[in-house]
Chain A
Amino acid sequence: VFKRFVEIGRVAFISFGPHAGKLVAIVDVIDQNRALVDGPCSGVRRQAMPFKCMQLTDFVLKFPHSARQKCVRRAWEKENINEKWAATRWAKKIEAREKKAKMTDFDRYKVMKAKKMRNRIIKHEMKKLQKMSSKKGKKPEKSEKSEKAPKSEKAPKSEKAPKAQKAQK
């Protein structure tokens, strides 16, 4: 049922407070509500932090409890947590949310145009498939195969919208 546990070396994401948005490693547990936490590679000083503001990630580092910052840093860099984190969906969602909030009026217009174009292409393909399947009612495999085709077309087009945002940053 529970997959992520509070343990020594668990990397956590701070959700609110002064260090909101940063990653830290749990170095030791102080009591039921607080942990000794350290984020040498993310700019968080070693300090006590309540569990409530931490959200556990999938990453666990190996270091003994109450290890000093140097050891935590070594383990962090060995596991390359920063890069792994940036590759997770969680981090990407956060980044997309930030980008969306920073969109200017011109960016919104460009996104609207890109979405419109993409939807048109998709609709076009769908109409084609519907026509085909209505014409030849007996060949279900062909429609299955061609349904896979627009999905692969979707992937390059979904890149277009965030690309358009990125290009204008």
Chain B
Amino acid sequence: MAGEKAADEKKPGKRKTGEKKPAEQKAGQKEVGEKKKRAKKHHASRNPVLARGIGRYSRSAMYARKALYKRKYTAPETKIEKKKKEKPRATITKPVGGDKNGGSRVVKIRKMPRYYPTEDVPRKLLSHGKKPFSQHKRRLRASITPGTVLILLTGRHRGKRVVFLKQLDTGLLLVTGPLAVNRVPLRRAHQKFVIATSTKVDISGVKIPKHLTDAYFKKKRLRKPKHQEGEIFDTEKEKYEITEQRKSDQKVVDSQVLACIKKVPQLRGYLRSTFCLSNGVYPHKLVF
């Protein structure tokens, strides 16, 4: 039965015009022609397995069985022509100064190497799945959702309770005090050094500006190695200055977040307080 179906679908454009019409309507949608239709319908393996790794028929027998003598495809010509056109320039003519020099020289763009090392670099073994940091998969703990109150554990704001806004592209968490509540600005925090409490603020209405990315928060370092010893200290930015843009962004985000915080009683005081352990308080026994 499958064979008949196969025969039917193979026929568009070839033999029976009567059956062509319904099939052609289908083919009409993908107008590459019969090739696409034929490629879509895959036959099961025509080489029955005798034992694992051993088929019944040899290479030449399979060639015949698969009718590869019929299926010889050549690339369409236009592509070759295009490639022929697109050859990159090998030489360039540059003007040359001085009189009696002729006005220009023809110079190679890609020159031969001027040095060949005595020992060739050995071929590296194939590795698999080693991605650069930018392509790593970022994970986020299920307990951390936008609006969760987090407790920062490290850094100059340790112990402070802070509102989580979103996760940035590098995986760090964008977090804000808000500033008016506990002096924590818009800042990045690391997931691992944070306790997620079960207290959540409804932040669904808050719009976070799009330009708050990792590049925005990245520390700026001046690199001007022209100075030799001596006056290196002056050029390095010792004091961090809060730019106007940061202040305005803080205001924009905080005004929205504060409005959400005010709706929950006692939440503001909670965010103002810090977390600490005392006698008889064991973190593994606490429910956060």
Binding site for B on A (CB under 8 A): 101-106, 109-110, 113
Contacts and interface: CB of A to CB of B under 8 A. Distances in A.
Given A104-B197, A104-B198, A104-B199, A109 B266 contact: yes
29 contacts: A101-B285, A101-B287, A102-B287, A103-B287, A104-B199, A104-B287, A104-B288, A105-B149, A105-B151, A105-B161, A105-B197, A105-B198, A105-B199, A105-B275, A105-B286, A105-B288, A106-B149, A106-B197, A106-B199, A106-B267, A106-B270, A109-B266, A109-B269, A109-B270, A109-B273, A110-B266, A110-B270, A113-B266, A113-B269
Interface of B: 149, 151, 161, 197-199, 266-267, 269-270, 273, 275, 285-288
A101 B284 CA distance: 12
A101 to B, nearest CB: 7
Contacts of B151: 105
B158 to A, nearest CB: 15
Contacts of B161: 105
A33 B151 CA distance: 51
Kindly list the 8 A-B residue pairs having the minimum CB-CB distance in the complex, ordered from nearest: A106-B199, A105-B197, A109-B270, A104-B198, A105-B288, A106-B270, A110-B266, A104-B287
Contacts of A104: 197-199, 287-288
Given A105-B288, A106-B267, 18 more contacts: A101-B285, A102-B287, A103-B287, A104-B197, A104-B198, A104-B199, A104-B287, A104-B288, A105-B161, A105-B197, A105-B198, A105-B199, A105-B275, A105-B286, A106-B197, A106-B270, A109-B266, A109-B270
Contacts of A106: 149, 197-199, 267, 270
